[in-house]
Copies of this chain bind each other. A is one copy, B any other.
Amino acid sequence: MSPATVSRVLNKPELVEPETKERVRGAIKALDFQPSAIARGLSVQRTDTIGLVVPGITDLFFGELYRGIERASHESGMKVLLFDAQHARHRAFEGFTFLRQHRVGGIIFTSKVVSEDYDPVLERIGIPVVLALTEATGRTALPAFKVDDVKAVFDAVAYLVSRGHRRVGMITGDMSDDLTGDLRLQGYRAGLEHYGIPYQSSWVETGDYRFTTGYQAMRRLLEHQEQNQLTAVCAASDEMAIGAIRCLHDHGLKVPDDFSVLGFDDLGVAHMTVPALTTIAQPFAEIGERAVQQLVQMIADDTIHASGTYYLPHRIVERESVRALSDLS
């Protein structure tokens, strides 16, 4: 069977004998059902590309993470293929298969917790997977890079207490989100407990990390402000913190003179607002870089076996949205 015959079957099947067609198509089918074999045989490009499954490309934090992924990929001579899961669980699954079909050498996954229902997919694809901003809770242990969310919000409370605040509220993420929603609330409760401040459910409101829900959560907190007498609020995201600032502004309260607001993330927008946002910075770019470096190493070592959650350090970035109560009272 000559190359010309194969080409003819594919391009001008009407010119080819049925039996020859049959044989060539059989061979093609064999190739098609051996994707890893094809990859080994045909494509040395394969280890030049890493795949990236993201929850939603339009999330502001993803942009920050991507800066690090871009930098480290560039340094390693890697191309990046992105798959946007559009905040849908089944799409995140699809992402693995899709990227595998596109012969990426490995995958960085950055979405919700990788729980046990991912195990069959992870076993099937057989290429290295590294997690960024998330963790694996299933049977398959995977290397993960993130901050310690509990510790980060604990430190946020400690910072506010050090600035004289004790009546500190919280705008948390979705509690059913066991990745950040629940952990950040745990950090808040641990912080209050550490400083002997009783936890009160009326001090906590929930949002979905976006501006609008931050605004609404702050409005609900203000409804009980007469009893609560809060002087500060921690938000579980910068966007919710900015929403809270806008809400306070609309209610005639100045930040930080009348009320202090602390964010979480340190997105690009955190320094653009008036007042600029004091916030817990996640080292997004470094998390992206470290995840790529880990993946590149696993591809080079031809291994899918690595694990461990690496907590990268968060830090408090002081800008203008928190004031020290002792300055004025």
> A197 on the interface (CB 8 Å rule)?
no
A sample of 20 inter-chain contacts (CB < 8 A) reads: A2-B30, A3-B26, A4-B30, A6-B31, A10-B34, A11-B40, A28-B42, A32-B42, A57-B57, A57-B70, A58-B64, A58-B66, A66-B84, A70-B84, A80-B84, A81-B82, A239-B272, A242-B272, A246-B272, A272-B273
CB of B70 within 8 A of CB of A86, answer yes
In the bound complex, what is the Cα–Cα distance between A31 and B25 (angstroms)?
12
Known: A9-B41, A37-B10, A242-B272. A82 touches B57 (CB 8 A): yes
* CB of A174 to closest CB in B, whole Å: 20
Point out the residue from B1, B211, B269 that lies within 8 Å of A1, measured CB to CB. B1
In the bound complex, what is the Cα–Cα distance between A67 and B84 (angstroms)?
11
A25-58 CB contact bits vs B (8 Å, 1 = yes)?
1111111101001101110010000000000011
* CB of A139 to closest CB in B, whole Å: 28
11 new A-B contacts, CB < 8 A, other than A3-B27, A7-B34, A239-B272, are: A2-B30, A3-B26, A9-B41, A11-B37, A57-B82, A58-B64, A58-B66, A70-B86, A79-B98, A211-B271, A243-B272
* Copies of this protein chain in the complex: 2
- Which residues, 241 to 275 on A, are CB-close (under 8 Å) to B? 242-243, 245-246, 249, 268-269, 271-274
Please give the number of chain A residues whose Cβ is less than 8 angstroms from any Cβ of chain B in the complex.
58
